[in-house]
Amino acid sequence: MVRLLKKRKRKGNLFVTLAVATFGLHLLTLLLLIVQGLTIRQLSLKKSPTFVQLVDGKPMDNTSGLQRKPEAIEEFVSKTMISMFNWSGKLPAQNVSQATITKKDLGISIRTLRGGSKKVTTSSWVSSFAFSEDFRKGFLSTVAELTPPEVFSNNSDRAILAELNITRIYPPQQIEPGKWKVGMVANLVQKQYQYRSNIQLLRIQLF
């Protein structure tokens, strides 16, 4: 009888110990969740940092977070517009291993201002996200009107390539804090494999 009572007492002590340990783990988990929630809240209230690639690579006194050097603006405009108007009919490589593997660009359909539907290249579509949303839609529609269907042709004899040759980028003019007006003159050269070419002169003002 005494042995049975001792065994019951041992089992009772074991259950109490497990219950206390479980409660302690739950309490610790709750504490960690509260600390994590407070940390995330503090991060969400912080002002997001501005990352700017400067021309000389040196830090710049940017108290407002909206200052940009003219050279940085011109470089951004140049890279964006070249990516927008260089049409090869091939998808850009995603990594180094794909550099020697070319895939056909099927294009992306865009609703034009005239109500129809035309295609733009994948690189043009990706580059368009560099523009503000209110400007992007109309500008992408204009690019779709300029893009010949032959860019996506499977027939190599009819395929057309295009290359943007920038003639001049005018110095950026600040119109308000964080916004600049940039003028650009460029030649859009379209080439066909049959050695025919068509040159269009673009005069673009970007805001």
What is the residue-averaged pLDDT of the chain?
76
**Is 56 domain-assigned?**
no
Of the ranges 133-137, 153-157, 196-200, 202-206, which is most confident?
133-137
CA distance 198 to 190: 5
Which tops the pLDDT comparison, 21 or 85?
85
46 falls within a domain? no
Structural domain that includes position 151: 70-206
Q: Whole-angstrom Cα distance, residue 197 to residue 199?
A: 7
Residue 60 belongs to some domain of the structure = no
pLDDT at residue 207, as a whole number: 42
Residue 4 lies in a domain: no
Closest CA to 193 of 155, 164, 152, 143: 155
Phi, psi (degrees; rounded to nearest 5) at 21: -65, -45
pLDDT tens per residue, range 34-86: 888 888 888 777 766 555 555 555 555 555 556 778 888 888 889 999 999 98
pLDDT bucket at 8, cuts 50 / 70 / 90: low
- pTM (2 d.p.): 0.59
Residue 13 lies in a domain: no
Domain contains 151? yes
Question: What value does the mean pLDDT take over residues 21-39?
Answer: 86
The span from the CA of 135 to the CA of 118, in Å, is 18
Is 84 inside a domain boundary?
Answer: yes
The pLDDT assigned to 94 comes to 67
Terminal CA-CA length for the chain: 93
Is residue 32 in some structural domain?
no
Q: Give the model confidence (pLDDT) of 99-119 as tens digits.
A: 566 788 888 898 887 778 888
Instruction: Tell me how many domains the chain contains.
Output: 1
